[in-house]
Amino acid sequence: MLNKLRPVRVQGAKSTPRQVWETLSWGGRLLATPNDYRTHRLYMRGVRRRDALRFLSGPRAKALRPALNPEPEVLENKLEFERHFGGLGLPVPPTLAVISTEADPHGRLTLTSARQVRDFVLDEAQRRGVVVKPAAASQGQGVTVISSVDGQEVVLSTNERMHVEELIETTGEGVWIIQPRLSQHPDLDALNSTSLNTLRLGTFRRRDGSVLILFAVLRLGRVHSQIDTYNQGGYSVRVDPSTGAFAARGYQKAKFALETVDSHADSGVTFAGRSVPFWDRVVDLATSFAREAGRNRFIGWDVASTPDGPVFVEGNHDWDVAHAQIGSKGMLTDEFVALMQNEAGIGFNVQQMPRLRPLAVLRSLAGARR
């Protein structure tokens, strides 16, 4: 628990007593968790209380979700996501097969035995790459990216090998899906080829049906990882919502590194001067997806760039508020505060500290998420 209070010792950081006090005080007011404090570099001298008030903490963002996204199932369940949005003709990854003990209610090919899973995976992966993932997991948990087959072993995107029996054991419980491995646009493949480097795009649908792009952050995997999540050491690079241009600096999750970088450590490719492919098309599609998301209004979309255009891999009712604000001055701008008040009746006071909640201090130090 006490390691949550460990001060950051870098040039320009606040004193140790100041950091400990702010971590306790701001955490106890749900203003900033210890992870927020590090992620948003609130430990630096010159960052004042009024600056911290502009960041939306994980606990406060979580409290918003029932009001802003009351129908999470269509987003969080990948089979429902494909059925709903794919049924509307929008670009989503197709499901080749479902791994489950029960037949799929919508008629998808269902693999119910270990032999069926083995034969299907080896056959499909021999012809093309496939991705095996849980139907309802998030943050890349349980994802296996297979590029080819060698006998009874599958070759992963990282060139590591896994015996097919190990994959069968992994998928033995719950519902899993098998999708084709998407081809990646060369511009993003050059940054890191072992992972599908996706854009986390935040949309908000107004009551009149118009859609705003609130944030855009590109996630880049590392050479040792099959997925792009920065929870496994990947990079996050902010993207200009109006142009699709990359920011000049990339960030890692605070537990991996506090320093920012101007290029990818594995490929050496710099971030400045690059942009997300098909940006205008990404924005147009995001508007279409947001308008078809039922009563869900504030969504974080994961968007892949293929050589043929954008594909929306999934939608998230939990859009990861810490990640959404990385490299920014905070989400609670005057414009955002007015938007929430006018559109959802949700108020934020960015001038006055929230009241102290003693139990929040203990939860924060015990490792509450974000």
Our CA dihedral for 49, 51, 54, 60, rounded to 10 degrees, sits at -40
| pLDDT of 2 strictly over 60 | no
With respect to residue 18, please indicate whether it lies within any of the assigned structural domains.
Answer: no
| pLDDT of 6 strictly over 60 | yes
| pLDDT of 370 strictly over 50 | no
With respect to residue 16, please indicate whether it lies within any of the assigned structural domains.
Answer: no
Tell me which residue range forms the domain holding 161.
97-180
Residues 195, 248 within the same domain: yes
Residues 126, 211 within the same domain: no
Q: How far apart are CA 321 and CA 94, in angstroms?
A: 28
Residues 195, 284 within the same domain: yes
Q: How far apart are CA 232 and CA 13, in angstroms?
A: 26
The CATH number of whichever domain residue 81 belongs to comes to 3.30.470.20
With respect to residue 137, please indicate whether it lies within any of the assigned structural domains.
Answer: yes
Of 151, 180, 209, the position where a domain reaches its end is 180
Query: Would you state the pLDDT for residue 368?
Result: 47
Residues 192, 295 within the same domain: yes
How many domains, in total, are found in the chain? 2
Residues 232, 84 within the same domain: yes
Q: How far apart are CA 218 and CA 198, in angstroms?
A: 6
Of 180, 198, 215, the position where a domain reaches its end is 180
Q: In the predicted model, what is the mean pLDDT of residues 351-356?
A: 87
Residues 163, 220 within the same domain: no
| Choice between 188 and 253, residue whose per-residue pLDDT is larger | 188
Please answer whether residues 304 and 196 qualify as being in contact, where contact means their C-beta atoms are separated by less than 8 angstroms. Answer: yes
User: From start to end of the chain, where are the E strands?
Assistant: 97-99, 110-111, 130-134, 144-150, 153-156, 161-163, 176-180, 199-205, 211-220, 235-239, 246-251, 298-306, 309-316
